[in-house]
Amino acid sequence: MKTKLIATIVGLALPMSVALACNEEGTEGIFPANNLRIPAPIGKSIAEDNFNAVIDRAEKFYTPVFKAMGRKLTIQRLWNNDTVNAMASRPLLSKKSVVKMFGGLARHPLVTSDAFQLVLCHELGHHLGGAPYISQIFSGKFANEGQSDYFATLKCAREMWKNDDNSAIVAGMNIPQTVTTLCQKTWDNANDIAMCQRSAMAGKSLGDTLGSLGTTVVVTDFDHPDTSVVSSTNDAHPDAQCRLDTYFAGALCGQSKDITPSFSDETVGTCNTSRGDDLGVRPLCWFKPRS
């Protein structure tokens, strides 16, 4: 049944288009614009109570963070909306920072509960993730797509999952050996290793979801990272494999989750080859270091 649903979804999706960021107009989001719609109760990959629980957890931590910035975080719970996407915006003449979470995305059969958490972290990352960024007229600076992916596993997921029994959670997952080996190189604590593995697998869920939305299905692979190198930073949506590589890099970066990223210095709180970091650096398939 799930195989048939995925096949139907792939057939309905439009080819991916280029976008600069999750925008206020609602045409772009964590994924490029697509015509895929998954109404309730079709494809209940994530139940409504789980949908709300993920948002509850993020609101509890990040509402005070935005308040300290002089802004009000508003996460719209659009469970009955069938859109397969998520979006971030700052309404004009307002102190609100908005995130829109759609039920259609939660119902996609490839989106796990952890992946849905990562989507919410990505959208928060547009507001908080730092450089590289884009500037939107009247709205200010937004972390670009790749940086928002990186923030999701580098900062946000670690905060959301820090008190979970991550070892127990990943015990039921089929973790590729590459993920385990590299997570063990960065982290010593068993819970941190497990959280790294968990973030990587959530990233694969999202990479494969993106890969299913094009005219040709793409399945991501930890053992075959994207080897392309951009000549300048790509602010648009990276390809599916490149995005998986970015989520994995965030999970592998040993920088503290408590170091706030900077919109003026892309090295703050991140891993960088300029200071000798090997693991956890942003992939060159979308990121061009300034130094």
What's the pLDDT tens digit per position in 124-147? 999 999 999 998 776 789 999 999
Record the tokens describing residue 102, joined without a space.
Answer: 């759609």
Strand residues in the chain grouped as ranges (E): 72-78, 86-89, 96-102, 133-136, 140-143
Q: What digits encode the pLDDT tens for the residues 35-83?
A: 899 998 876 789 999 999 999 999 999 999 999 999 999 999 999 999 9
Q: How far is 106 from 220, CA to CA, in rounded Å?
A: 20
Q: What amino acid occupies position 276?
A: G
Task: Note whether 36 and 103 are within 8 A (CB).
Answer: no
Total residues belonging to the chain = 291
Q: What digits encode the pLDDT tens for the residues 164-207?
A: 999 999 999 999 999 999 999 999 999 999 999 999 999 999 99
